[in-house]
Chains A and B, each alone.
Chain A
Amino acid sequence: MRRLTHLQRLEAESIHIMREVVSEAAKPVMLYSIGKDSAVMLHLAKKAFYPSPPPFPLLHVDTTWKFKDMYDLRERSAQQAGMELLVWQNPEAKERDINPFDHGPLHTDMWKTEGLKQALDHYGFDAAFGGARRDEEKSRAKERIFSFRTASHGWDPKYQRPELWNVYNARKSKGESIRVFPLSNWTELDIWQYIMAENIEIVPLYFAAPRPTYIHEGGLFMADDIDRLEQVMGKKPEITERSVRFRTLGCFPLTGAVESEASTLAEVVQEMLLTTTSERQGRVIDQDEGGAGMEKKKQEGYF
Chain B
Amino acid sequence: MSETTGKDPVYEVDSLIAEDIEAYLDQHQNKGLLRFITCGSVDDGKSTLIGRLLYDSKMIFEDQLASLEADSKRVGTQGQEIDFALLVDGLAAEREQGITIDVAYRFFSTEKRKFIVADTPGHEQYTRNMVTGASTADLAVILVDARKGVLVQTKRHSTIAHLLGIRHLVLAVNKMDLVEYSQEVFDQIVSDYGDFAKELGIKEFTAIPLSGFRGDNITAAPSANTPWYGGPSLIDHLETVEIANVAAQKRSFRMPVQWVNRPNLDFRGFAGLITDGTIQPGDAVRVVPSGRTSTVKSIVTMGGELDEAVAGQSVTIRLDDEIDCSRGDMIAAADNPPQASDQFEATLVWMSEEAMKPGRAYWLKLGTQNVSASVQVPKYELNVNTLDHLAAKTLELNSIGVAEVHTDKPIVFEPYATSRALGGFILIDKITNATVAAGMLNFSLRRADNVHWQPTTITREHHAAMKNQTPRLLWFTGLSGSGKSTIANAVEARLNLMNRHTFLLDGDNVRHGLNKDLGFTEADRIENIRRVGEVARLMVDAGLIVMTAFISPFRAERQMVREMFDDDEFIEIFVDTPLEVAERRDVKGLYKKARAGELKNFTGIDSPYEEPHSAEIRVNTVEMSVEEAAEHIIAQILPLK
Chain A interface (Cβ < 8 Å from any Cβ of B): 1-13, 15-16, 19-20, 22-23, 46-53, 134-135, 138-139, 141-142, 157, 161-167, 169, 171-173, 184-185, 187, 189-190, 193, 196-197, 266-267, 269-270, 273-278, 281, 291-292, 295
Residues of A within 8 Å of B587, CB to CB, are none
Closest 7 CB pairs of A and B: A276-B62, A278-B61, A15-B314, A6-B33, A138-B90, A50-B302, A270-B21
- The answer to whether A47 and B301 touch across the interface, beta carbons within 8 angstroms, is yes
Q: Which of B61, B104, B250, B365 contacts A167 (CB 8 A)?
A: B365
Across-interface contacts of B308 in A (CB, < 8 A): 2
Complexed CA–CA distance, A139 and B28 (Å) = 27
- Whether A162 lies near B435 (C-beta < 8 A) is yes
Per-position contact with A for B423-436: 1 when CB-CB < 8 Å, else 0? 01110100001110
Contact of B102 with A291 in the complex, beta carbons under 8 Å: no
Q: Can you spell out 8 A-B residue pairs with CB atoms less than 8 angstroms apart?
A: A3-B246, A51-B269, A138-B91, A187-B107, A193-B28, A269-B25, A278-B61, A295-B92
Cβ contact of B91, chosen from A48, A189, A295, cutoff 8 A = A295
Using CB atoms, name the residue of chain B closest to A11: B314
- Name the interface residues of B260-309: CB closer than 8 Å to any CB of A: 261-263, 267, 269, 271-273, 278, 300-303, 308
Cα A23 to Cα B92 in complex, Å, equals: 35
- The answer to whether A141 and B105 have CB atoms under 8 Å apart is yes
Question: Could you tell me if B428 and A4 are in contact, using CB atoms closer than 8 angstroms?
Answer: no
Determine whether the beta carbon of B302 is less than 8 Å from that of A141.
Answer: no
B28/A164 in contact, CB under 8 A: no
CA gap between A241 and B15 in the complex, in Å: 32
Q: Given the complex of chains A and B, what is the CA–CA distance between A273 and B18 in angstroms?
A: 9
Question: Distance (Å) between the CB of A168 and the closest chain B CB?
Answer: 8
Task: Please tell me if the beta carbons of B267 and A51 are within 8 angstroms of each other in the complex.
Answer: yes
The interface residues of chain A lying within 8 Å CB-to-CB of B28 are 189, 193
Are A48's CB and B314's CB within 8 A? yes
Is the beta-carbon distance between A169 and B435 smaller than 8 angstroms? yes
A2 contact from B18, B249, B262, Cβ within 8 A: B249
How many of chain B's residues touch chain A, expressed as a range?
A: 35 or more
The one of A6, A9, A23 in contact with B258, judged by C-beta atoms closer than 8 angstroms, is A23
| CB-contact partner of A169 in B29, B135, B263, B428, under 8 A | B428
**Cβ of B314 and Cβ of A50 under 8 Å apart?**
no
Using A49-B261, A278-B64 as known contacts, list a sample of 5 further A-B pairs with CB atoms less than 8 Å apart, ordered by residue number in A.
A1-B246, A5-B30, A6-B33, A141-B104, A162-B351
**Is B503 an interface residue, CB under 8 A from the partner?**
no
**Knowing A164-B135, A196-B25 touch, does A157 contact B102 (C-beta < 8 A)?**
yes
Contact indicator B17/A273 (Cβ below 8 Å): yes
Check if A184 sits within 8 Å of B424, measured CB to CB. Answer: no
Q: Can you name the residue of chain A whose Cβ is closest to the Cβ of B29?
A: A193
Question: From B271, which residue of chain A is reached at the shortest CB distance?
Answer: A19
Q: Which chain B positions have C-beta within 8 A of A16?
A: 258, 273, 314
Contact segment of B125-133, B203-211, B574-582: B125-133
Instruction: Return B63 CB to nearest CB of chain A, in Å.
Output: 5
- Asked whether B17 lies within 8 Å of A274 as measured between CB atoms, the reply is yes
Max count, chain B CB within 10 A of own CB: residue among A173, A267, A273, A274: A273
Q: How far is A129 from B554 in the complex, measured between Cα atoms in Å?
A: 36
Contact mask B304-345 → A, CB, 8 Å, 1/0? 000010101110100000000001000000000000000000
Contact A278:B312 (CB < 8 A) given known A6-B113, A47-B302 = no
B259 at the interface (CB under 8 A from A): yes
Query: For residue B262, which residues in chain A have a CB less than 8 angstroms away from its CB?
Result: 52
B residues in contact with A11, CB < 8 Å: 314
Whether B90 pairs with A142 at a CB distance below 8 angstroms is yes
Contact, CB under 8 Å: A6 / B31: yes
Whether a CB of chain A sits under 8 angstroms from the CB of B368 is yes
- Residues from chain B with a CB closer than 8 A to the CB of A276 are 61-63
Q: A266 → chain B, closest Cβ, in Å?
A: 5
Please indicate the chain A residues that have their CB under 8 angstroms from the CB of B269 in the complex: 51
Provided the pairs A6-B113, A20-B258 are in contact, do residues A173 and B421 lie with their beta carbons within 8 angstroms? no
Given contacts A5-B31, A47-B302, A165-B424, whether A142 and B103 have CB atoms under 8 Å apart is yes
Contacts of A51 in B (CB 8 A): 261, 263, 267, 269, 300, 302
A197 to chain B, nearest CB (A): 6
Verify B434–A50 contact, CB threshold 8 A: no
Using A163-B132, A169-B365, A169-B428 as known contacts, say yes or no to A278 and B433 having CB atoms under 8 A apart: no
Does the CB pair A162–B132 fall under 8 Å? yes
Cα A275 to Cα B302 with chains together (Å): 34
| Inter-subunit contact B424/A52 (CB<8 Å) | no
B362-412 interface with A by 8 A CB criterion = 363, 365-368
B327 engages A9 (CB within 8 Å): no
Q: Does B438 contact A (CB under 8 A)?
A: yes
Per the bound structure, the CA–CA distance linking A301 and B313 in Å amounts to 34
A197 contact set on B, CB distance < 8 A? 29
Q: Do the beta carbons of A12 and B312 come within 8 Å of each other?
A: yes
Judging by beta carbons under 8 Å apart, are A12 and B90 in contact? no
Which of A1, A138, A184, A292 has the most chain B CB atoms inside 10 A of its CB? A138
- A269–B21 CB distance below 8 A: yes
